[in-house]
Structure 1
């Protein structure tokens, strides 16, 4: 066998290097002498093991290996000194600097396992590369020579787009990292450092938090005017106008942009089963897109489905001012995010009769943050609530047509991806889960300002949709659905619409008139 180990020591002093040398000598003795094992496994030899190759294999085998190497590389051009090195101390020289840079990522050994889940790997920087560059920035900050100073300025300037702006902060990198490192946490810390309390950005965020209802009200006329222009000018003209405005810093408009949602009184029915429903601020502001196959706003559709299953729906008080805080968290304004979360939890606790009733939020990213910071209420996102509480109260009649489902990042982190697929299969005989499509890259509002990230993340989606003949896709996040619709060429809507379409109530008195 072989012996795997991870060390977290420094190499910046002779004492630390001597400590490491002693460790390697003891590993050599333990593995080779005591157990007749292998010093090297699937990763090959490398400079760290080069001084011990002859010791492990003996003079004769070492000679054979060296002769083969010389046949292929007589001039010693390929990886010189990596496997065959006559310096017995080569493993104690030229250490790669691994300076501390951020507590969230300092344990990273730069193995690259995270990159399979990083949506910008191959586009801007991968999660591993973000850590590498931040370590180099931290190292350069400690130096004072002119060359280091210039290199530091260059890296900091380039990182603004390649490292910060294009990071979705979705945290999927942590799911394949052996250490569970979330580079999104690093990104949030960097954004927080860039927004001190007296900055314009922070003051704007604070103003919006304290005037949230007014901000949403101001957005609705903008969505209304954009929708009116879309109806009059069509997709191509509006897309051209949107691209032009985006060049001067206006968030990108796409044909999948929704109409506004205007709050209105929803008729309620008193029932023994009760659920607190908190529509996300996104769904309190945005209605359906122009080409959506169902023009019923999601809030109304969700209430209708809950009532069909025999539930009385309770809305929290002062709902127009409430938010989970994700908006501010993504910008690095953690204190404001926590303030909004606390306000929401207090309202939900009251509405749920001291935590007695379950709480449903219709946006999975919002629900994920709520679960991270709230402890007084029982929280559910739509798929989980439907599958747990409504499945036995509804009759499912699956449709015989292909549908696509997109598992959001937050659903993956909450281990609800399989439940989404299982629920979709109750509704359709042909459920497509596109391959190699992870995070959609929309990242809340970032898809409006950096649409190229969204397009890159979903570059493999449309061919699979077309091949399968899918006409409608379903997901669990309004903003993700905007990006999916834009890049897939078909409308993506909430899974709630599919469930409502394919179900009737087991209790006929709960059926709603058409």
Structure 2
């Protein structure tokens, strides 16, 4: 049901996040945790997420305006980045704004289709074993992507590593025979690869921070683009560190809001290592994993592409 009506579900989720954020500002986060805690007991802990103080505010209702004419790629903002905004206190562009800006700056403008709302990489359903919903969304995103990219003539750039993995690989077993043929014609590119391979060679870095620590996600490991994460970060920071104990954050989309003890356990070693010192930036490229690391370390993680936009932006920059 949620897959078939995901456009309405997405809008409702964004409104709920915005409302919760405003309530939290007025009465503090404790009451919200109490309210969701009671709801979890009344319904079921596996179905009702718990409100966490680290949950960011809502994303902007409208995505940046772009043009299909002259676009070098189709940019697909993942649904998590259409629902959740950036880290608290971040005054720069949002992730979609940053991707659009830095791509244009490199002479590789991207186009965001007008009808991305209501589509998803299908990982929400796939990860929970909801095969019927997964089948609906897997076929919907492949059909939409094939149309957006003019039958695969343009690459599809995805701004969350788990969603890149979902569209590129995990949807395939759930596609119809016809859509499996369409999928073979698509080129799915993670935003890290897009930034490292296509944008960086054409960008001028104007300012660097002293240090950054990275959180490579499980999906980055599967996709094999951890080195691209490092490459982009090294363009933005003099010192780049990947913790020796970096591993799965176990936030897993909404799992960290359903069973927060999983994230606490999974991140214990990595967060302890991260917190042995201070860094100028805490970077990754997957919004929900960033929230998990926010909770684990007490620091605000955000996409490395947002830092790349800041590092290459002409004029004065306010962090």
Give the distance between the partners of 1:243 and 1:293, measured in 2 at CA.
27
Identify the residue that residue 179 of structure 1 maps to in structure 2. none
Identify the residue that residue 106 of structure 2 maps to in structure 1. 309
Select the residue among 58, 73, 77 that pairs with 1:275.
73
Compared CA separation, residues 277 and 400, structure 1 to 2 (3 A): closer
Identify the residue that residue 344 of structure 1 maps to in structure 2. 141
Compared CA separation, residues 324 and 513, structure 1 to 2 (3 A): same
Identify the residue that residue 3 of structure 1 maps to in structure 2. none
Q: Is the 8 A contact 1:277 1:360 kept in 2?
A: yes
Deviation digits for residues 125-169 of structure 1 (CA, Å, limit 9, x no counterpart): xxxxxxxxxxxxxxxxxxxxxxxxxxxxxxxxxxxxxxxxxxxxx
Q: Is the 8 A contact 1:308 1:512 kept in 2?
A: no
Identify the residue that residue 358 of structure 1 maps to in structure 2. 155
Select the residue among 204, 214, 219 that pairs with 2:8.
214
Compared CA separation, residues 464 and 319, structure 1 to 2 (3 A): same
Select the residue among 21, 39, 55 that pairs with 1:227.
21
Indicate the SS of the match to 1:311: coil
Give the distance between the partners of 1:246 and 1:407, measured in 2 at CA.
33
Larger Rg: 1
Unpaired segments of 5 or more residues in structure 1? Answer: 1-206, 506-510
Identify the residue that residue 417 of structure 1 maps to in structure 2. 226
Superposed CA RMSD in Å reads: 2.5
Compared CA separation, residues 213 and 247, structure 1 to 2 (3 A): closer
Q: Please state how far the C-alpha of 1:310 moved relative to its aligned partner.
A: 2.1
- Structure with the greater relative contact order (CA < 8 A, sep ≥ 6): 1 or 2? 2
Q: Number of aligned pairs?
A: 301
Deviation digits for residues 431-464 of structure 1 (CA, Å, limit 9, x no counterpart): 1211212111011111110110011011123332
Q: Is the 8 A contact 2:214 2:282 kept in 1?
A: yes
Select the residue among 253, 264, 267 that pairs with 2:51.
253
Unpaired segments of 5 or more residues in structure 2? Answer: 173-182
Q: Is the 8 A contact 1:252 1:449 kept in 2?
A: yes
Q: Is the 8 A contact 1:434 1:464 kept in 2?
A: yes
Compared CA separation, residues 433 and 242, structure 1 to 2 (3 A): farther
TM-score, normalising length from structure 1?
0.55
Compared CA separation, residues 422 and 227, structure 1 to 2 (3 A): same
Compared CA separation, residues 246 and 458, structure 1 to 2 (3 A): farther
Equivalent residue runs for 1:132-281 within 5 Å: 207-234=1-28, 237-238=30-31, 241=34, 244-245=37-38, 248=41, 249=45, 250-264=48-62, 266-268=64-66, 272-281=70-79
Give the distance between the partners of 1:243 and 1:488, measured in 2 at CA.
23
Compared CA separation, residues 389 and 426, structure 1 to 2 (3 A): same
